[in-house]
Amino acid sequence: MIGELGHFALALGCILALVQSVLPLVGAHRADARLMALAAPLAVAQLIAIGAAFAALLWAFAVNDTTISNVVLNSHSAKPLIYKFSGAWGNHEGSMVLWVFILALCGGAVAGFGRDLPSALQARVIGILGLIAAGFLGFIIFTSNPFERVWPPPMDGQGLNPLLQDPGLALHPPMLYLGYVGYAVTFAFAVAALLEGRVDAAWGRWVRPWSLAAWSFLTLGIALGSWWAYYELGWGGYWFWDPVENASLLPWLIGAALLHCAIVVEKRESLKIWTVLLAILAFGMSLLGTFLVRSGVLNSVHAFANDPARGVFILGLLMAYVAGALALFAWRAPRLGGTGIFAPISREGALVLNNLLLCSTTAVVLVGTLWPMFADILFGAKISVGAPFFNAATAPLAIPLVAAMAVGPLLAWKRADLAGALQRLWWVGLLAVAAAFLTLLIAGHHVWPALGFAAAAWLIAGAAADILDRIAAFRRPSQAWNRARGLPRAAWGGAIAHAGMGVTFAGLAGMGLATDALVELKPGQSTRLAGYEWRLESIRDVQGPNWSSRRATITVLADGQVVTVLTPEKRFFPVGRMNTTEAAIHTNALRDLYAVLGDERHGGGVVRLHHNPLSPWIWVGAGIMALGGGLSLSDRRIRVSAPSRKAAPAPA
Amino acid sequence: MTRKKRRLYVLLLCGLGLGSATALTLTAFQDNLVFFRSPSDIMREAPPANRAFRLGGLVEAGSLERGTGADGRPTANFRVTDGAHVIRVSYAGVLPDLFREGQGVVTLGMMQPDGVFRAREVLARHDETYMPPEVADALKRAGHWNPAQGAAPPPAEWNTAPRRGG
């Protein structure tokens, strides 16, 4: 019964979304206030319907309703409740329901908080969101019904893939989808602006928080996925340039360009056309990611469903939305011309450079991700593009981007003094060079890690220099504290996000110095790695709630003192007949000791040991970036509904 | 700055961005594209030396020998077959959980002068019934299996071809 209700709620939501996409758009076109006023209630009604469907799905998983095939395939009664819930979105059908639920939430937010938007703009935005929701609800209803029944019901479910039974991965999809779907809202704003034929500072004030929120969630989602890969897959790596990972990186890169560009629209009413185009592309990249993950066109370690019919449907949606928006863009964009004029050396100029580099990086990653597919279709060549390609092709673009990241915030709007900005950064540059030399001195001839530490020092100190400059800490130290408190949160947020990028770079550089060893040890034997003594004590059987495992006990000693005891395992899950490798990790925030148990033979075991300097910083940095985004979001200027304290223009 | 001049700047910048992206992609492609070859492909045409490629096929049943290398690292030697030809593979490292004799495997590495493929990476998938698409394709091309007729036959029956150095 609950299942049927959920299915019915989905169908109802689809009809509501269709109505929501037609009436407000027609109303906005005819300037009919009654039709436009329907937009917000329809968006809320759709949110209620989709919310009911999502709740029905969660219920089915929570009570382990084995008459629903999705539950049978992805759940099991002997599983902690949190993984029953995460199992609801750990599969193709359920994750699509989560997707449209988040989209409906965004629609509800535009309806609820957007009362002071011009009513035509609000109606158009909600209409476009309805159009997107209708397409994806149709996709769910016609190709991937999450409430399909099985008869007779089996005794119990087949269980969730044990690799996915993990807190990091329980949160990873919702975060990622909040990011992807957030770009649906900026897309809707872009299309609405094209329909209106007008982009102004008010539009920029709305697009900026949405792009910022989407980007922050996407950052968290990618970081969680990468962290999960690091500790759960047991390969000792954190990023594999796998097509599915790249699919999430593409909207992140374009989204970073978009949120910087939206600043220019808001503050200077310039780069309007470009911002609209970026908003369309960001959502296009999100859809492309959805398509790549769900169609099975790309050969990936963690592709989702391999159903061509679904792939064709999503490709159709992708074409319809993006091609439609781009056609509208080609037709209407010329009337959006910007008014702000600026010199090449200015804050705007720096943001253009940022956009140029981020978009070039996106293009490179896109080509590398899609080329194997095209080579197969066009020439029948089976090729793959791996990490060496992406490292070689993106590093030359990352270097100028990082170099400009510290300088840009110090430039003034409209016309700036580059020499003056560089002069204020002299000590930052000195720190960066010192970091590089120190790395070369300590770690030997490792060029990339040295560059990475230089980038980290440059970014973190550069962000500090930016803040110190804004509060005039050296010129008027007595008032610095007051100025710091008066500084807009957006300024703090930007500086913190840039520093977070620096922290991530430090982590990446640290991982560049990681060492590992692969040894066969018998109990009692030990080996040395990175100044530690690693002693294998024993390997024995352990029984868990829904798995059995072989667990090795490895004592790590430094100078005769026990640092930690690591217990890597090889687990066997009888329900899914699957083996997993459980890496054991000990961290002290400056380095990870990481051990993996391999095969056993001759009474001993093969263990792989890693010493990963600074590796936690990679994800901590991403968290700081997202924090910066969140802080920026809480800025009074951005909370449109909050009355502004002063009428004075925002300080630059 | 006049409107015309600005347009020129914008065009120049776009050209610069596109140009640098293209140049970077092409140079990186030149060195880093990794081709897939089946044992039959290697027999037909010797792969270029000092260039990594991916070798895929089925792990021949009973061919896996584990040992310990001179540096204490565990090693594995096995044979990869596509039904028509066999290539010997040596690998130093821990084989992935889902590595099984008789199942599909994709390895990344280089051909040695003695005809042994030295693998740097052995890839196995999350799912034990999964057949890497390249391997399925290689098996089809070798003419030993039509996927329309169901699952692949047991690998013990595959080794009908004369073995090289086996």
* A440 or A645: which leads in pLDDT: A440
Give the length of chain A: 652
Q: Lowest-confidence range among A360-374, A502-516, A632-646?
A: A632-646
Residue of A nearest to B106 (CA): A384
Our CA dihedral for B19, B21, A349, A250, rounded to 10 degrees, sits at 150
- Contact present, A600 and A539 (Cβ < 8 Å): yes
* A155 or A7: which leads in pLDDT: A7
Domain spans, chain B? 1-33, 36-157
pLDDT of residue B152: 55
Most confident of A133-137, A144-148, B119-123, B158-162: A133-137
Mean pLDDT calculated for residue range B44-57: 83
Residue B97 C-alpha, separation from nearest chain A C-alpha, in angstroms: 6
Q: What's the CATH fold of domain B36-157? A: OB fold (Dihydrolipoamide Acetyltransferase, E2P) (2.40.50)
Contact residues, chain B, for A396 at CB < 8 Å? 20, 24
Mean pLDDT calculated for residue range A245-258: 94
For A192-250, the pLDDT digits (tens) are 999 988 888 888 888 999 999 999 999 999 999 899 888 887 777 888 888 888 989 99
Task: Please give the Cα distance from A52 to B43 (Å, whole number).
Answer: 60
Give backbone dihedrals phi and psi of A649, rounded to 5 degrees, phi first.
-65, 150
pLDDT of residue A649: 38
- Residue A229 falls inside a structural domain: no
- Residue A232 falls inside a structural domain: no
pLDDT of residue B124: 65
- Contact present, A627 and A500 (Cβ < 8 Å): yes
Residue of A nearest to B76 (CA): A599
pLDDT of residue B144: 61
- For CA atoms B81, B82, B84, B89, give the dihedral sign: negative
Residues A116, A7 share a domain: yes
pLDDT grade for A297, boundaries at 50, 70 and 90? low
Is B35's CB within 8 Å of A301's CB? no
pLDDT of residue B18: 83
Is A580's CB within 8 Å of B18's CB? no
- Contact present, A630 and A216 (Cβ < 8 Å): yes
Helix (H) or strand (E) holding A127: helix A119-143
Q: A63 lies in which domain range?
A: 1-165
A452 Cβ contact list (under 8 Å, min separation 6): A505, A506, A508, A509, A510, A512
Name which of A389, A536, A579, A601 to mutate to probe chain B: the one with the most chain B Cβ atoms within 10 A of its Cβ: A389
ipTM here? 0.75
Is A520's CB within 8 Å of B72's CB? yes
Token pair, residue A166, equals 């993990």
- Residue A373 falls inside a structural domain: no
pLDDT grade for A521, boundaries at 50, 70 and 90? confident
For A191-203, the pLDDT digits (tens) are 999 998 888 888 8
pLDDT of residue A629: 94
For A116-159, the pLDDT digits (tens) are 888 899 999 999 999 999 999 999 999 889 998 888 888 888 77
pLDDT grade for A637, boundaries at 50, 70 and 90? low
Is the pLDDT score of B160 beyond 50? no
Is the pLDDT score of A646 beyond 70? no
Mean pLDDT calculated for residue range A309-328: 89
Residues A132, A9 share a domain: yes
Give backbone dihedrals phi and psi of A421, rounded to 5 degrees, phi first.
-65, -40
pLDDT of residue B2: 66
Mean pLDDT calculated for residue range A493-497: 94
Helix (H) or strand (E) holding A550: strand A548-558
Mean pLDDT calculated for residue range A449-473: 92
Mean pLDDT calculated for residue range A531-541: 90
Is the pLDDT score of A650 beyond 50? no
State the CB neighbour count (10 A cutoff) for residue A527: 18
Residue of A nearest to B71 (CA): A519
Mean pLDDT calculated for residue range B157-161: 46
Helix (H) or strand (E) holding A19: helix A2-30
Mean pLDDT of chain A: 87
Mean pLDDT calculated for residue range A168-179: 87
Residues A549, A483 share a domain: no
Task: Please give the Cα distance from A257 to A264 (Å, whole number).
Answer: 11
- Residue A344 falls inside a structural domain: no
Residues A25, A9 share a domain: yes
- Residue A282 falls inside a structural domain: no
Contact residues, chain B, for A579 at CB < 8 Å? 97-98
Residues A525, A473 share a domain: no
Where does a domain end: A148, A165, A182?
Answer: A165
Mean pLDDT calculated for residue range A447-462: 94
Residues A504, A548 share a domain: no
Residues A560, A450 share a domain: no
Residues A26, A144 share a domain: yes
Name which of B13, B65, B97, B123 to mutate to probe chain A: the one with the most chain A Cβ atoms within 10 A of its Cβ: B97
Mean pLDDT of chain B: 76
- The DSSP secondary-structure symbol of B151 reads S
pLDDT of residue A641: 44
Q: Lowest-confidence range among A17-31, A175-189, A467-481?
A: A467-481
Give backbone dihedrals phi and psi of A221, rounded to 5 degrees, phi first.
-60, -45
Is B128's CB within 8 Å of A161's CB? no
Which residue is associated with the tokens 């509501």?
A16
pLDDT of residue A644: 38
Is the pLDDT score of B51 beyond 50? yes
Residues A72, A143 share a domain: yes
Q: How many domains does chain A have?
A: 3
Residues A110, A41 share a domain: yes
Using only the alpha carbons of chain B, give its radius of gyration: 22
pLDDT grade for A484, boundaries at 50, 70 and 90? confident
Closest CA to B28 of A261, A367, A548, A416: A367
pLDDT of residue A349: 87
Residue B24 C-alpha, separation from nearest chain A C-alpha, in angstroms: 5
Residues A89, A123 share a domain: yes
Name which of B4, B8, B10, B20 to mutate to probe chain A: the one with the most chain A Cβ atoms within 10 A of its Cβ: B20
pTM above 0.80, yes or no: yes
pLDDT of residue A240: 85
pLDDT of residue B148: 53
- Residue A412 falls inside a structural domain: no
pLDDT of residue B164: 39
- Residue A283 falls inside a structural domain: no
Is the pLDDT score of A566 beyond 50? yes
pLDDT grade for B166, boundaries at 50, 70 and 90? very low
What share of chain A has pLDDT > 90, as a percent?
A: 47
Contact residues, chain A, for B34 at CB < 8 Å? 383-386
Contact residues, chain B, for A368 at CB < 8 Å? 25, 28
Residues A608, A627 share a domain: no
Contacts by residues A616-620 (CB-CB < 8 Å, ≥ 24 positions apart): A616/A507, A616/A587, A616/A589, A616/A592, A617/A503, A617/A504, A617/A506, A617/A507, A617/A510, A618/A223, A618/A226, A618/A238, A618/A504, A618/A507, A618/A508, A618/A511, A619/A223, A619/A224, A619/A226, A619/A227, A619/A507, A620/A503, A620/A507
